[in-house]
A and B are shown apart, each in its own frame.
Chain A
Amino acid sequence: MEWETVIGLEVHIELATESKIFCSCSTAFGAKPNEHCCPVCMGFPGTLPVFNKKVLEFALKAAIALNCEIPKYTVFDRKNYFYPDLPKAYQISQLYSPIGTNGRVDIEADGVVKTIRIHEMHMEEDAGKLIHSDIDNVTYPDYNRCGVPLIEIVSEPDFRSAKEVVAYLEKLKMLCEYMGISSCKMQEGRMRADVNVSVRKKGDKQFGTRTETKNLNSFRAIEHAIEYESERQIDILEKGGVVHQETRRWDDEKRVGSSMRSKENAQDYRYFPDPDLLPIEIDRDRIEALRAGLPEFAQEKKARFIAEYGLSDYTSSRVTADIRLATLFEDAAKACGAPRTVANWLIEIMPKVLDDLGVAFENATIDAGQFAKLLSSVESKKLNKNMGVKALEQLIAQGEKFDFDRYLEDNAVVMEGDEDKIREVVRRVLTENPKAVAEYGQGKTKVMGFLVGQVMRAFFGKVDHDAVNRVMLEELQTGGQK
């Protein structure tokens, strides 16, 4: 029997405002526990929330980008439940008048374009974190994350595969990054997803009973959890069993899901409008101004890069996958006039260099002007590829301090043009190593690597490897007898 998996998503995205949604505490990641807290976000008696207007701007941008309908007034509601990471025992969220409804977003999976409908999106505050210590068997709350602004985007059950889900999440990430409203770093919990999965026989109109798997925080975990859950449900149904509506958790290390609570134990959140916050009026002109100010997104940018810079479809989509990469590309391409070289270096060479240095692209400071100078030198053969790579390493390692012109001066490199210099050293090395030369003569061509190495060392590596090879070969074949 053929089964179809039906998936709906609830995606939480932390907005990149500098301060929290209802107080002025910092939202920065990585602080010591309970360092970014105040009486307001700790829910102390008598304290009151004050809405951070930047959150409205960011959330409106998201609602516009997701083609949502935006109400005249949007209202915060309280979602009441007890949990130690929730200091007020209610989360300020939105239920009755969320900031966006009835949106849609196009995704592409396996070459097929599909529209995913957005049921609604709303603003809310994040909760804190609980850290369990096995040493003293105590759970410690860290309230730093309390009050970090979130948007939650709730899709309709429009996905039919994990691939579509991943394509959707990548699209959301791209939109948010391009608009500068979130980093969407899943490893920092900036983007998290709850996945609703059900299965049905292909062709059925009715949905099956769904389960919700909570708090998945990597694309891989989401893919695996969906596959696991859909197989689990198919298995139950094929054995004649019944799927129970429940909330589930996912263990990414063991790659197994397990039941958390059944629908019967579902909480009643007793939502009601938060009396401490007034309804927010959303001006129509403001929406239009924000719409007009939206950036060129990846798809349009990709098409333009192909047309303007002659990039291939593949290269252009790689370059535009990240707004910072796309900007770096365009700035450098304009400055050095060799767009395809710039693109190739960005997608082929740069990742390896970053990897070797152990630096993530998002944390690297790469000056487009310096990068362009470097590539201009490569283009004009003043620098060969290996040397360019070495220069790039320095460019990334030194960050803002890097100056390409000074680098060239400090590292007077021997180029192909300086063949006499190379030949001089090659001859000296051959004279100093008669044994190796003799072995070469006996057909042990492997020793050439050793000899070339000696030459490279004499130049402290600042020499064109290909040129050394060529000269060495010439000298060896003439027997070094000149």
Chain B
Amino acid sequence: MMGLLDHTALELGAMIARGETTSAEVTDAVFAAIAAKDKDINAYIGVSKELAAVQLAALDKAADGPLKGVPISIKDNICTNGVKTTCASAMLADFVPPYDAAVIEKIKAAGLPVAGKLNMDEFAMGSTSETSHFGAVKNPHDLTRVPGGSSGGAAAAVAAGEAVCALGSDTGGSIRQPASYCGVTGFKPTYGYVSRYGLVAYASSLDQIGPVAKDVADCAAIMDVIAGHDGRDSTSLRVKHPSYLASLTGDVKGRTIGVPEECFGDGVDEDVKRAVLDCAKTYESLGAKLLPVKLDFMQSVIPTYYIIATAEASSNLSRYDGVKYGFRADKVNSIDDLYAESRSQGFGDEVKTRILLGAFVLSSGYYDAYYKKAKNVQRRIIAEFGEVFKRCDALICPVAPSTAPKLGESLCDSMSMYLSDIFTVPVNLAGLPGLSIPCGTAKNGMPIGAQLIGARGADATLLDLGFAYQRATDHHRVIAGRA
């Protein structure tokens, strides 16, 4: 029998609007699912029953929309006024922001009750959601495997039916890769389309908030809520956003989809290649044209990404010094001691590794050789993408070279973890939109995700492509056990 939480967010929104269920009923169902399942999955850091109750009581005042009354869960690096925002770190384990992130203001105005705060890699640094201070998140499809990261809690919660939909953040694939590992849909918008105000920064020039949900239509509906210019974020773009939901036609006739050969070579699992190429063929059968393309920069994307991201991170995370808020070490003798001890004890290993790496690439004498060079390569990547998008409407490639690894595997080999980001990071480096859609299952039973990449600002086109695929196929429902 189909449970309430087997419905998509849009279905639930319609049911609430028709009076077939209520927002309170759905929200309670989410809380019940968390109580039943989260011991195993560990997708949540905290539930926000009080906040949800306040929102439910004032639901009448919220604006009408297709998602009104549908509960949403929030990655724990997005600030929620009065509700702990920990970034999955001991450093901020007790931090309660006195302000809402811009997206939370929008979520509240649209009447989406916040169900809870989602687990993640500490400060969004990681690809497995194992570096959380609150313990690793497990993949609902196989509890011995990781859900991906850093928005692993978001993807796992949606896949496990512990969340209707979620907001994650994506700096190098942190929405798309866990969505792929967990068999759900994740969208990383064009940089500047969603305000970063209140998103605890990892790498400011790459971070972007986006939706994780059961399908593309839900993602589009969430985009309609969260996208838009915000004067508090200087990198927020002043553009007129269409209704992403209303832009979904499902018609791909005449579209050209590029297939980059670099993304289907050695190092990519055969299962993954096959499933993603099958996805491409589905587009062809729907009337799109496939075009082989080359992305010459693929060799340099990993070093470029890790230099820029860690450089910014080393500076962004300097504010956690034990002085104003967050973790403060005791038994210290000097201010330097306070800094060193608070930061040594308050941060986990992966965060410390990246801070050290970032501090190194910015240090005097190395700036030109690393950071400046990486910024130059980034410009080249942007230019090359620009050339490719003159010839195609989107690119298709795997989200990740393989399916979800076993828990603990990646922690022993961080280099292979970094390398697994190869198909997602160029999208952040160029500020492009990227969509992750389930496209099959590997022999090991784990979901495979296809990634669609669009030109800057082609968010509506990209979502429409994803929508067309999901209308024509069943993968997103089969993997979720809804078909």
Contacts and interface: CB of A to CB of B under 8 A. Distances in A.
Interface of A: 39, 42-51, 78, 80, 82, 84, 87-90, 141, 268, 270-272, 275-278
A256 B85 CA distance: 49
Given A39-B98, A89-B319, A270-B363, A49 B79 contact: no
Contacts of B311: 272
Given A42-B324, A82-B321, A84-B323, A270 B199 contact: no
A271 B233 CA distance: 22
B430 interface: no
Interface stretch (B200-208, B251-259, B413-421): B200-208
A54 to B, nearest CB: 16
Contacts of A49: 234
Nearest to B79: A46
B318 A46 contact: no
Nearest to A43: B319
Contact of A48 (B92, B234, B321, B325): B234
A77 B49 CA distance: 42
Q: Which 5 A-B pairs have the closest CB atoms?
A: A89-B318, A275-B205, A270-B362, A275-B204, A46-B198
Contact of B200 (A39, A46, A80, A277): A46
Contacts of B371: 272
Interface string B314-343: 110011010111000000000110010000
A47 B98 CA distance: 11
B125 to A, nearest CB: 15
A355 B99 CA distance: 49
A272 B359 CA distance: 11
A93 to B, nearest CB: 13
Contact of B198 (A42, A47, A276): A47
B200 A45 contact: yes
B324 A46 contact: no
B312 interface: yes
Contact of A272 (B97, B325, B367): B367
B234 A141 contact: no
Contacts of B339: 82
Contacts of B201: 45-46, 276
Contacts of A276: 201, 204, 234-235
A85 to B, nearest CB: 9
Interface residues of B, number: 44
Contacts of A45: 79, 85, 87, 92, 95, 97, 200-201, 319
A141 B325 CA distance: 13
Nearest to A85: B323
B314 A46 contact: no
Given A82-B336, A89-B319, 17 more contacts: A42-B324, A45-B92, A45-B201, A45-B319, A46-B99, A46-B199, A47-B198, A80-B314, A82-B321, A84-B323, A84-B335, A87-B323, A90-B315, A272-B371, A275-B312, A276-B201, A278-B234
Contacts of B234: 48-51, 276-278
B231 interface: yes
B315 A270 contact: yes
A270 B364 CA distance: 6
B364 A46 contact: no
Nearest to A139: B335
Most chain A beta-carbon contacts within 10 A, residue among B196, B323, B364: B323
B197 interface: yes
A90 B318 contact: yes
Interface string B284-319: 000000000000000000000000000110110011
A49 B101 CA distance: 14
Contacts of B325: 44
A443 B101 CA distance: 92
Interface in B194-232: 196-201, 203-205, 231-232
B363 A268 contact: yes
A387 to B, nearest CB: 59
B322 to A, nearest CB: 10
Interface in B343-382: 359, 362-364, 367, 371
Nearest to B231: A50
Contacts of B233: 48, 50
Contacts of B315: 78, 80, 89-90, 270, 272
B417 to A, nearest CB: 24
Contacts of A277: 234
Contacts of B199: 46
A87 B319 contact: yes
A80 B203 CA distance: 15
Interface string B185-198: 00000000000111
Contacts of A80: 314-315, 318, 362
Contacts of B235: 275-276, 278
A377 to B, nearest CB: 56
B359 A46 contact: no
A123 to B, nearest CB: 15
A50 B195 CA distance: 13
18 contacts: A39-B97, A43-B319, A43-B324, A44-B98, A44-B324, A45-B92, A46-B99, A46-B201, A47-B197, A49-B234, A50-B232, A82-B318, A82-B339, A89-B315, A270-B359, A270-B363, A272-B311, A278-B234
Nearest to A89: B318
Contacts of A272: 311-312, 315, 362, 367, 371
Contacts of B232: 48, 50
A398 B234 CA distance: 47
Contacts of B101: 46
Contacts of A50: 231-234
A80 B321 CA distance: 13
Nearest to A81: B318
A46 B363 contact: no
Contacts of A48: 196-197, 232-234
A138 to B, nearest CB: 12
A180 B80 CA distance: 41
B150 to A, nearest CB: 16
B318 A88 contact: yes
Contacts of B200: 45-46
Contacts of B98: 39, 44
B340 to A, nearest CB: 10
Contacts of B323: 84, 87, 141
A270 to B, nearest CB: 4
A141 B321 CA distance: 14
Contact of A46 (B97, B231, B321, B335): B97
Contacts of B197: 46-48
A87 B325 CA distance: 10
B124 to A, nearest CB: 12
Given A80-B318, A141-B323, A272-B371, A44 B359 contact: no
A276 to B, nearest CB: 5
Interface in B70-113: 77-79, 85, 87, 92, 95, 97-99, 101
A80 B339 CA distance: 14
Nearest to A82: B339
Contact of B99 (A39, A270, A275): A39
A140 to B, nearest CB: 11
A88 B78 CA distance: 18
Most chain B beta-carbon contacts within 10 A, residue among A44, A50, A51: A44
A179 to B, nearest CB: 27
Contact of A270 (B196, B204, B314, B336): B314
A369 B265 CA distance: 86
Nearest to B339: A82
